[in-house]
Structure formats: structure tokens, C-alpha cells
Structure 1
């Protein structure tokens, strides 16, 4: 188990934190414009990675529907629990949305994919499960996640119309159509999309570092700790319950449970910055959950191996 912790720390966490620290340094030295960075992520980079992931992934309909169903069920349970806590402690409307987003949206991409690759030793079946979780996470983050943030100060109709202007929606739809129809894109179109996709992880983590550089670390800490507890401890526990309920075993169960243990998604902080909805809390939740995940993810990997 200690060897697993050391391997995950150096192979997964160190690259993440190096990029975050670069973002902190850049922000303190050059005072980068957060508005521009958030626009770059939302309107350019995220549509690129969603398009390429959806276009490239060989999707089995049976596995796709099963894992998508499990993921949506897990997100629904986390949504209900996080909102119940937010109402119980009388969070403001903006904080309720930010708190819920920090719990239900997790880093299944630049954290979850490397962890899956490490644990299952490049098993394509295990990776296909992780990719499906990643796709559902991206779709929900950039549909419900953005819609909920916009609904804070707009009517539902205006929030929906605003969402329809985002390129993320059309990147998802076009990629799904091309994938299902097995249409081969010419290199002149496909290669630029892959270049954009390759840039996402670095720019997203640098953006997080820029946000971290502006944090006042003593604000809303109990809310951050509550979010981290739900994200890192309750989420994999609920995933295990879902797997037992549907009698799922083997690699499928292990991969899904491990995916549910990932820290809060960087994208939740990016959209919070874009729509100016508790960006400080959101960035702190990402940072704190990523740090704490060095221990919790290792524990979940070990426990899932014993359970399934």
C-alpha cells in the first residue's frame, strides 16, 4: 500500500501540483487577467477536449448505458445530499450552487485517467469505463453546472438561451454524431482539435494556480472541509453501495469506485470564475480536495481491490 501511495504521489500528484505552482508564480509576477483565462478555457479549450474524447472513444452501447446510468445515479445522490446540507446550514443561493458543484463534479480527466492507467496497467476495458465517466462528467459540468450558475441571477429561460450560445454544446453533439456515424474527419480538421485538447490540462491547472494565488485561505474553510469530506469519502462509499445494489463485480466495479474517489474538478473552479459565483470557495475546494486525495484515493484503490 505504501508503494501505491508513493507511485500515485510522484506519477499523478507531482505533475498536477507543478502546473498549479507555475500558475501561482505567473499570477504573482504578471497579474494575469482571470477573465481572459476563463474565456480561453470555456470557449476554446474545453470544447476541444470534449469533441476529441467523444469522437475518439470506441463506445460499447451496453457498457456506455450501464456506466452512464451509474454515474448519473451517483451524481443525483450527491446532489441531494449536498443541497440538503446547504439548506440545513442556510447557505446563500450562490454558495449552495458552488457547494453542490464542488461535490458532484470531480476530476475524472487529468487525475482520473492517469490513476486508472496506473492501477489497471493500461487495461483498455478499465480505461473505457473511466472515459465514459469523464464524458458524463464533462457533459453535466458544462450543461447543468453552467445552467445552475446562470440561474442565480437570471430567469431559467434566459439561462437556457445563454447556455445555447456556448460552443461546448455543439462540440458534444457534433462529436457524438460523427462517432455514431463512423465518419472519418480529414486531418486538416482533426489535428487542430487534438492540439487544442492536448493544451487543456496545462492551461486548466495554470488557471487554478492563478486563482489560488488570489485566495484568502481563512475564508469559508469549514464549508471547504465539508465539501472535501463529501467528495473524497462519501462519494466512493455511495459508489460502492450502488455497485452492491446492482451486484457488479470485477474490473467494472473497481474502476467505477476508484473514479468516484477523485478530487473536485478543476472545471468547477473555472466555471465559477467565469460566472463570478463564489470563485474563491471553488478554487479552495479544488486545491484542498486534490491535496487530501493523496491519502484517500490510495485508500479507495486498496479497499476496492479487497471488496471486488
Structure 2
């Protein structure tokens, strides 16, 4: 019963909104680059800024969440490395990248809101920003960028969500009172972020026609949607996470491979077909696994 309730109350709303994006992608020729820029530069930073102003997440909780997510990602990456042992370099790197780059934006934010409420969303924003750092540092390093640490640092500093978080922390720490009109405008943009990232996910999935169900695809998908939430459930308590914090970490680690992993693989020519297939397979598989995680969270946490 709990599993069915999770499917209807948490997964179904997410799927319905994403299907709107799929339908739009099948009906019109849309510029995904523009949609991505609207989300990345316009809406998500406002969500991050608004979350910092309203969140009840303390600095200590944020540190625990970030440490937990990074530890789980590291261990999962090692598991993927072992699972890819003996395969050629591009395949091995693509498998590892598909495991460590999670969809904590398109999927993670709305599911956290629906499953855990406003507090869960605040936690999910912290993890989302952490996942962006992983995506734009570890991702290029695995998939073929040779820019080194300097380019990695520049990528992180160019993330608008990073500056939005910093600005929000500054405003909250100094106690500056922003005009009501500004706060309402920010809140409107923040509210638009959740449905827009889901529509963007649907657009991206709707434009992906190739799917190859090979051994590496199946292995990487299973590690992504099964091993990560199990690792979070084991490692989280070791870092002192419990209650809503532990639930947020486990739920975040149950997310599928991010579509941006495919974007990076295509950019660097590192087996994009494999990564695209993992994105599709892990996304479909996660509909059931996330529902199971949501149903088990009260007992796990």
C-alpha cells in the first residue's frame, strides 16, 4: 500500500509534468540550449536564493549532507570502476560518469518537495548544488576534458546557483531586509523552477531516440538506481545523519543518471551512445525504485 501511495502521490505528478515536455519535444522543434539557459541562469538560481532565505537547514546539517553525498558518490564511483574492469577506456569512463552524475535537479528537486515537503526541498537544494560541482568537475575529468583544476574551478565559479547561494547567505547573515516586491518576484521565479526543470527533462528525453541495452548500460543503470540509495542508507548514519536529513540523502541518491552526463559525453566524444542509454534506462527504472525508497523512508530514517 505504501508503495502504491508513493507511486500515485510522488511519482505520478512528476511523470505527468515530464510527459508534457515529451509531447512538446515530439510535436515541435525546440531549442534545448535556450530551455537549458532559462533553467540554469534564470530559475534555478532564484530557487537556490529563495531556499537560503527561507530554509531551516543549519550550517552543520548542510555540511553533513554535502559530506554524505560526496562519500556515497565516491564509493559508488569505485564500485562502477570495479564493475567496468577489463573494458576499454572510453567505455569504463562513460560507465563511471553515468554512475556518479545524478539527476538531482530535474528529478531530485520536485520529488524531494512532494515526498518530504519544504524541509526536504531545502535539503535537496544543498545536495543539488553539490551535484553540480561534481558534474562540472568530475564529469569533464572522466569524459575527456584536459583543462585541469583551473578549468574545473572556473566551471564551478561560473555556476549561477553558486553565486545565488552565496548572495542568499550574505543577505541572511547580515539581516538585510529586501523590498517585499523583490522577495515576491524571487519567490515567483523559484516556484516556476520545479515545473520547468521537469518539462526540460521531458524535452530532453523526448529527443533521445537511440537506446542500446548492452551489458555496460545495464550494469551502470543498476549501480546508479540500486547501489547508491543502499550506500546512502549505510553510510549516512556513520556520518551522524538521521531523520529528515538521512531521508533526504537516501532519496537524493536514488535519482537516475542526469541528462547532462550525456551532454558532457557528446561534448567530449566519450561514448555518448552508452551514456544516453544509461540516462534512459536509469530514468525508467528509477520510477519504481524511487517509489520503493519513498515507501521505506519512514522505516529507514
Q: TM-score, normalised by structure 1?
A: 0.78
Compute the displacement of 1:68 (Å): 3.4
Paired with 1:26 and 1:179, the residues of 2 have a C-alpha distance of: 39
In structure 1, the residue matched to 2:195 is 202
Of residues 143, 155, 159, the one that matches 2:133 is 143
- What's the secondary structure of 2:110's corresponding residue? coil
1:269 alignment partner in structure 2 = 259
Cross-structure match for 2:147 = 155
- Who is 2:16 aligned against? 18
Q: Which secondary structure state, in structure 2, belongs to the residue aligned with residue 111 of structure 1?
A: helix
Structure 1 pair 210–295 and aligned structure 2 pair: CA distance change class (3 A): closer
Q: State the distance in 2 between where 1:24 and 1:242 align.
A: 36
**Partner-residue secondary structure (3-state), 1:263:** coil
Rate the CA distance shift 1:305–1:144 in 2: closer, same or farther, 3 A.
closer
Q: Over the residues paired in the alignment, what is the CA RMSD in angstroms?
A: 3.3
Q: Deviations over 1:7-63 (max 9, x none)?
A: 222222222222222112212221101221222222222222222122220233443
The corresponding residue for 1:288 is: 281
- Whether the 8 Å CA contact 2:233–2:250 is kept in 1: the answer is no
User: How much has 1:208 moved relative to structure 2?
Assistant: 1.8
Question: CA contact under 8 A between 1:54 and 1:176: conserved in structure 2?
Answer: yes
Contact 2:256–2:283 (Cα < 8 Å) also in 1 = yes
Rounded Cα–Cα distance in structure 1 between residues aligned with 2:96 and 2:236: 28
1:297 maps to: 290
Distance 1:17 1:60 in 2: 32
TM-superposed CA distance for 1:169, in Å, is 2.2
- Residue 75 of structure 2 corresponds to which residue in structure 1? 77
Q: CA deviation at 1:94?
A: 6.7
Superposed CA offset, 1:114-166 (max 9, x none): 1224xxxxxxxxx64x3454133222232231234455335122443354334
Q: Secondary structure of 2:108's partner?
A: coil
Q: What are the residue-to-residue correspondences of 1:47-86 with 2, within 5 Å? A: 47-86=45-84
Distance 1:184 1:30, change over 3 A: same
Q: Which residue number in structure 1 is paired with residue 212 of structure 2?
A: 219
Aligned pair 1:181/2:174, yes or no?
A: yes
Answer whether contact 1:231 1:264 (CA < 8 A) is retained. yes
Cα distance, 1:234 vs structure 2: 1.0
- 8 Å Cα contact 2:104/2:124 also seen in 1: no
Query: CA 1:155–1:18 in 2, change beyond 3 Å: closer, same or farther?
Result: same
Change (3 A) 1:63 1:269: same
Return the TM-score normalized by structure 2.
0.80
Any unmatched runs of 5+ in structure 2?
none
Aligned to 1:114: 114
Shift of 1:194: 1.6
**C-alpha separation in 2, matches of 1:272 and 1:79:** 17
Give me the whole-angstrom Cα distance separating, in 2, the residues matched to 1:271 and 1:46: 18
Q: 1:232-275: per-residue Cα shift (whole Å, max 9, x none)? A: 221122122224545766x357624642453226xx32475488
Q: How many residues align?
A: 293
Match of 1:28 among 26, 29, 40: 26
